[in-house]
Amino acid sequence: MGTDSAPSRRPRRLRRTAAIRDLVQETRLHPADLIAPLFAKDGTGAPTPVGSMPGVARLNLDDLQQEARALAGLGIRGVALFPVTPTERKDPAGSEALNPDCLILRAVRAVKAAAPQLVVFTDLALDPYTTHGHDGVLDAAGTDVDNDATVAILARMAVLHARAGTDFVAPSDMMDGRVDAVRRALDGAGHGGTGILAYSAKFASAYYGPFREAVGSAQAAGTRGLDKRTYQLNPANPREALADAMLDESEGADALMVKPAGPYLDIIAELRRHTLLPLAAYQVSGEYAQIHAAAERGWLDLERCRDESLLAIKRAGADWILTYFAKDVAAALR
């Protein structure tokens, strides 16, 4: 190409060196963007690896405290705690969820004692506590989740979690009206400062299998493919997802969440345009597992794919990212 016909605009000038590329980078990850999910177990035994999630283990409370301190030292600001409830403590009603000394409450207290600077998030749902593995109690016919009976239990759970010191309760059940009921219960019990991170757009996804293995809800139900489509969102319905999220905001949610993250970047971006609240996205167990599985086979570069997946979630509009990569990414960023 001759000089006279050379393009006057050359976008590659902004990609010429690493220093220039850093100057013009539009989206960045920071350890404070990340929330680390952690699995708590009873007893004093060694960490129990989750077979389908390389690098992830169920931790006793002493190890949980050690991990919390390590995460805080890396600049991570939040952890999401999930209990591995012993099988003998499960029943169809999820009664253990209302035990004032249940595992999740002891885990909250342990983390707050070890790393008080961490923001602690705890789920409100019954699937870790029920023998059937559903997120709520079943109706009289035993064929579907009873919405209002479940919401009443979630509201009581929220107060117990707030008393233990959790900073945000996170209703992950997708029951109608639960954000309003939880907000009223917290305020009525004197916990007006406890926030609500609502799982507002939680889809009936096939990506949850490894998580269900980790907490034992898959074993309780006898399958990883438990059908939750009567309460979780249809993956085909973006408008319905947005309507649910806006309803949660109107009921008093302090932050909204999309789950899973990677397959639903369009939902994250659309919700970002419709809300001024903080927006979280959960890079779920299946997303984590598939990146590891492909990397183990030599098909993908683990670190580059990990970082690219998280940048995509941040670029779509998420303020907070729940990810099992949190510790490794925070260490790399430092």
HEC profile of the chain: CCCCCCCCCCHHHHHCCHHHHHHHCCCCCCHHHEEEEEEECCCCCCCEECCCCCCCEEECHHHHHHHHHHHHHCCCCEEEEEECCCHHHCECCCHHHHCCCCHHHHHHHHHHHHCCCCEEEEEECCCCCECCCCCCCECCCCCCECHHHHHHHHHHHHHHHHHHCCCEEEECCCCCCHHHHHHHHHHHCCCCCCEEEEEEEEECCHHHHHHHHHHCHHHHHCCCCCCCCCCCECCCCHHHHHHHHHHHHHCCCCEEEEECCHHHHHHHHHHHHHCCCCEEEEECHHHHHHHHHHHHCCCCCHHHHHHHHHHHHHHHCCCEEEECCHHHHHHHHC
Catalytic residue among 41, 90, 202, 314: 202
259 is catalytic: yes
Identify the active-site residue in 41, 228, 259, 327: 259
Q: Is-catalytic flag, 314?
A: no
Task: Give the residue numbers marked as catalytic.
Answer: 202, 259
